[in-house]
Amino acid sequence: MAKVISYANQKGGVGKSTLCIQTAFYLAIKQGKKVLVVDMDGQGNTSSRLAPRQTHEDGSFEPILSGTKTADLFKDSVPEIEVIKCPSGVDLIHTPKNDPDLFEMEAVPLDQAMNPAKNMAELFDQYDYVLIDCPPSLGRKLVAALLMSTHVVCPVKLSGFAVDGVEGLLRTIVGIREGYNNQLNILGIIINDMDRSVNHDRSLKELESSVPDLLFKNKIMHRPPLDFAITEGIPVWELRYGHVAAREVEAVLDELLAKVG
């Protein structure tokens, strides 16, 4: 059975998509696993980074998006789900850029948030790993993602409010596990985009005392090559000057995959 991992945090810009995409590359390219990425975020950034591209003469590109889109999964039934085969070897259920249909799903009744899990059950059997990139909110799309997940991981960027945010997120996740999905495992919190400022240090100490068991041992510092790799849609270890970033990312992914088992 596929391991289904959601990347969740209601805050934007903490590294959900970055870690989701790099995990997909790591599993598919380095470990030869069969991987499906589901882009649950109406912004559609992950889709444009993973999908095949049509490149123009000036170097700009357009993603070539086809098949079933994530918003379709919320319908009562989907006759056939068609994924995109990406150049990295990863499969993708995509979201077009700023898809109004997916934004609308944020307010659907709870019943309808259960549809993606029902519609995808059979497809999931074809994969080793399914990775779900969640939107920055605690609404129905996050619920839909958690209902079909076996695991959830929370990337966190340190700030004065990090602890409050994490507590709210954990309440939502535990609520879903207790009410609807008792197979959901909380993998923990990955500190990402950290620096050595006094502010980050203080925020880290607060997290260490409020959720000590949930923090990953390995952390990812602020590493511009990681930003570059994600913008280009390539594995961070392919960058010649990206070895420090790659080492940190790989340590975190090894820790994550060991927890998934």
Ligand X SMILES: Nc1ncnc2c1ncn2[C@@H]1O[C@H](COP(=O)(O)OP(=O)(O)OP(=O)(O)O)[C@@H](O)[C@H]1O
- Residues near Mg ion (CB under 5 A) are 16-17
Minimum distance from residue 63 beta carbon to Mg ion (Å): 15
193 is an interface residue for ligand X by CB under 6 A: yes
Minimum distance from residue 220 beta carbon to Mg ion (Å): 15
Pick 34 or 139: Cβ nearer ligand X? 139
Q: Which of 2, 8, 14, 83 binds ligand X (CB under 6 A)?
A: 14
Q: Which of 227, 239, 247, 251 binds ligand X (CB under 6 A)?
A: 227
Q: Which of 2, 5, 6, 18 binds ligand X (CB under 6 A)?
A: 18
Pick 123 or 191: Cβ nearer ligand X? 191
Minimum distance from residue 108 beta carbon to Mg ion (Å): 21
Return the residues of window 86-115 that contact ligand X according to CB under 6 A. Answer: none
Q: What CA–CA distance (Å, rounded) separates 124 from 2?
A: 6
Q: How many residues bind ligand X (CB under 6 A)?
A: 19
- CB–CB of 6/132 below 8 Å? yes
255 is an interface residue for ligand X by CB under 6 A: no
The binder of 153, among Mg ion, ligand X, none, by C-beta within 5 to 8 A per type, is none
The binder of 175, among ligand X, Mg ion, none, by C-beta within 5 to 8 A per type, is none
- Nearest CA to 166 out of 199, 189, 134 is that of 189
For every residue of the chain, which 3-state class applies, written as one string?
CCEEEEECCCCCCCCHHHHHHHHHHHHHHHCCCCEEEEECCCCCHHHHHHCCEEECCCCCEEECCCCCEHHHHHCCCCCCCCCEECCCCCEEEECCCCCHHHHHHHHCCHHHHCHHHHHHHHHHCCCCEEEEECCCCCCHHHHHHHHCCCEEEEEECCCCCHHHHHHHHHHHHHHHHHHCCCCCEEEEEEECCECCCHHHHHHHHHHHHHCHHHECCCCCECCHHHHHHHHHCCCHHHCCCCHHHHHHHHHHHHHHHHHHC
The binder of 39, among ligand X, Mg ion, none, by C-beta within 5 to 8 A per type, is none
188 is an interface residue for ligand X by CB under 6 A: no
32 is an interface residue for ligand X by CB under 6 A: no
Stretch that binds ligand X, among 28-36, 94-102, 138-146, 219-227 (CB under 6 A): 219-227
Chain residues binding ligand X by CB under 6 A are 12-18, 41, 43, 136, 192-193, 220, 222-224, 226-227, 230
